[in-house]
Amino acid sequence: MAATGPESPKAVTSPRDSENASTSAGKWIHYGGVEIRTRLGGENGAFDGQDRMLSMRADRHKDAASRDPDDFDALYSWALVLQEQAERAEAKGADASRRSDLLAKACARYDAAHRCRPRSHSTLYNWGIALGDRARMSADAPTARQLWGEACDKYRAAVECDVAKTQSTQALNNWGLALQQLATVSRERDEKRRRLLAAVGRFREAIRRDPSFHRAVYNLGTIMYALSEMARSTGGGGGGGPGGGGRRKRNADADAEDDDSDSDADADDSDDGSDDGGSHSGGDDAHGVGAESAPRTPAALQTAAATYICCAQASPGARPVYASSLRLVRRCLPAPALRAGTLLASPPSLPTATSGCWRERRFVLDHEAFWTAPGEGGDDDADDDADDADDRRGLGPLGSWASVPRPTPARGFADADPNDATTTTTTTAPASSGGTRWGVHVNMEDVVSVQPCADASLPRPGHGFRVGLRDGRGHFFVARSEAEREGWVDALTLTRALVCGGRGDALRRELANAGRASQ
């Protein structure tokens, strides 16, 4: 499956420099009020005006750092220029040793800047990019593993610095990409799978913080596809594969308030990022990452991959590679729905759900709503399709339960593969005397939040999530496994973001295409 290529980091020239500079041979450029003529007839690898400006800026920052070794701005800006020089050298086909030397110097400057301002998010983030660039250049597998591990450490520290969780989406995405690269250079299959599952948690947290970040959505889809290929070859979970995403340097301006911090955000447990492959449940662990869980069967993993890639393709700014990747897995979608499966739910109108009220229902999520599929599961009387359609139309925002006779207890799921998110076996309990049909129908435009939750009062197995509505109400649902719960939360979160962003029709078109492809 093709992956998106990384974006080039933001240029480090100032707006004035960018406005007046020209890299075409024979042109005049202006720098500091002085006219400088670029080299005539420049060849590949030759210095041009932009290179000269970068060299002058590097010298200026070097002089400032020499005068004051604790000048954070000088050290940080110097590192940015060195990194930009390395990227330009790569684009012009310069010798690899020169690029490696520039990146090593940039890392040294980031290290010095980090000591001046330990909680600078942008320093740690850009340092991680430089380490990743060095790892990509390394032909030695142990060295590459070490550098990718160090990059993971820097991204993790950057995420930990972002207490407000407003700046770290890109860091989480790049952390996931670094873990994915660690998986490709890992020697053991179990280690590869562990790295990929760790990457799942980073991409998942990125999209929970910013559901419109389509690169992380797509990357999560490629991870699921890679795991499906590993599962197909071994009969169990695992895999490895390419991911995509973007890299973007951050501005140091946002870090000005961190000057007085004396805590070291770069405290790590290992030098090779090995602890990044561990399992975390939920999104509230010490590193602020999402659940590192995924379905285990190839079919369920490919369905998950199709779900994420479909949402990425429906997003504004979707890249061509999303469409080509979606063609590989589109047939796995439960078209015309985005996701379908069995959940435990209680009647929406009950103020308190008692243990005997929970029922299995088959739920469907499409571009408009999250709703109970007609005629699936539950303790209903015999009915026909017309009654089912009438029930759905009459459910209202959160369904209805006209009378509340105590239903036959049906706590928990029927026997099924707990690791397969596509299993839809349901339990049918006998109808209670005077029982009333009920279901859930939630318009996505009314949803304000979707959160996983752990509550001892929820029925077994307790993998619950809550859908919060605009009017303050909400409803709990219980999945049969953590992987299934996280899949529902992701799908609902992404669908809500698309609908609220005016992309509901785009999602509808992609699902319609999937329906035609599966015929």
CA 162 centroid distance within chain: 17
How far, in Å, CA of 177 to CA of 174, rounded?
Answer: 5
Pick from 257, 280, 313: which residue ends a domain? 313
Say yes or no: 135 and 254 in one domain.
Answer: yes
- The answer to whether residue 38 sits within a structural domain is no
Amino acid 124: pLDDT? 97
Say yes or no: 394 and 488 in one domain.
Answer: yes
Say yes or no: 253 and 135 in one domain.
Answer: yes
Q: What is the mean pLDDT of residues 265-269?
A: 35
Say yes or no: 476 and 366 in one domain.
Answer: yes
3-state secondary structure of 442: strand
Model-level pTM?
0.76
Range in 216-220, 227-231, 405-409, 417-421 the model is least confident about: 405-409
Say yes or no: 178 and 293 in one domain.
Answer: yes
Above pLDDT 70, what percent of the chain?
66
- The answer to whether residue 241 sits within a structural domain is yes
**Average of per-residue pLDDT values in the chain:** 75
- The answer to whether residue 31 sits within a structural domain is no
Amino acid 380: pLDDT? 35
Say yes or no: 208 and 307 in one domain.
Answer: yes
How far, in Å, CA of 250 to CA of 247, rounded?
Answer: 10
Strands 447-453 and 369-372: unpaired
How far, in Å, CA of 238 to CA of 200, rounded?
Answer: 12
State how many domains the chain has.
Answer: 2
Q: What is the mean pLDDT of residues 132-144?
A: 94
Amino acid 147: pLDDT? 97
State the residue range of the domain holding 247. Answer: 44-313
Structure tokens at 403: 């009378």
| pLDDT of 262 strictly over 60 | no
Structure tokens at 372: 């109970």
Say yes or no: 84 and 223 in one domain.
Answer: yes
**Maximum Cα interatomic distance, the chain, rounded to a whole number of Å:** 93
Structure tokens at 285: 């662990």
pLDDT, one tens digit per residue, over 338-359 is 999 999 988 776 666 666 788 8
CATH number for position 399: 2.30.29.30
Going by pLDDT thresholds of 50, 70 and 90, the confidence category of residue 103 is very high
Q: Higher-confidence residue: 294 or 51? A: 294
Angle between helices 121-137 and 96-116 in degrees, nearest 10: 160
- The answer to whether residue 436 sits within a structural domain is yes
Closest C-alpha among 224, 233, 389, 393 to residue 312: 224
Pick from 313, 346, 367: which residue ends a domain? 313
Sign of torsion, CA 81 86 87 91?
positive
Going by pLDDT thresholds of 50, 70 and 90, the confidence category of residue 291 is confident
For residue 163, how many other CB atoms are within 10 A of its CB? 10
Angle at 92 between CA 88 and CA 95, to 5 degrees: 95
Decide if 342 contacts 362 (C-beta within 8 A): yes
Amino acid 154: pLDDT? 97
Going by pLDDT thresholds of 50, 70 and 90, the confidence category of residue 269 is very low
Say yes or no: 399 and 252 in one domain.
Answer: no
Say yes or no: 284 and 376 in one domain.
Answer: no
CATH number for position 177: 1.25.40.10
- The answer to whether residue 198 sits within a structural domain is yes
Q: Higher-confidence residue: 43 or 99? A: 99
- The answer to whether residue 2 sits within a structural domain is no
Say yes or no: 350 and 299 in one domain.
Answer: no
Structure tokens at 194: 């562990």
Closest C-alpha among 248, 251, 267 to residue 76: 251
| pLDDT of 287 strictly over 50 | no
- The answer to whether residue 30 sits within a structural domain is no
For residue 397, how many other CB atoms are within 10 A of its CB? 16
How far, in Å, CA of 299 to CA of 421, rounded?
Answer: 9
Say yes or no: 134 and 280 in one domain.
Answer: yes
How far, in Å, CA of 210 to CA of 217, rounded?
Answer: 10
Say yes or no: 392 and 427 in one domain.
Answer: yes
- Classify residue 508 by its DSSP letter: H
pLDDT, one tens digit per residue, over 14-71 is 323 333 333 333 333 333 333 333 333 334 445 578 889 999 999 999 999 999 999 9
Closest C-alpha among 121, 355, 154, 120 to residue 273: 154
Place of tokens 């961190």: 258
Contacts of 408 (CB under 8 A, 6+ apart): 356, 379, 429, 430, 432
Contacts of 460 (CB under 8 A, 6+ apart): 411, 412, 413
- The answer to whether residue 271 sits within a structural domain is yes
Going by pLDDT thresholds of 50, 70 and 90, the confidence category of residue 91 is confident
Going by pLDDT thresholds of 50, 70 and 90, the confidence category of residue 456 is confident
Bridge partners (DSSP) listed for residue 216: none
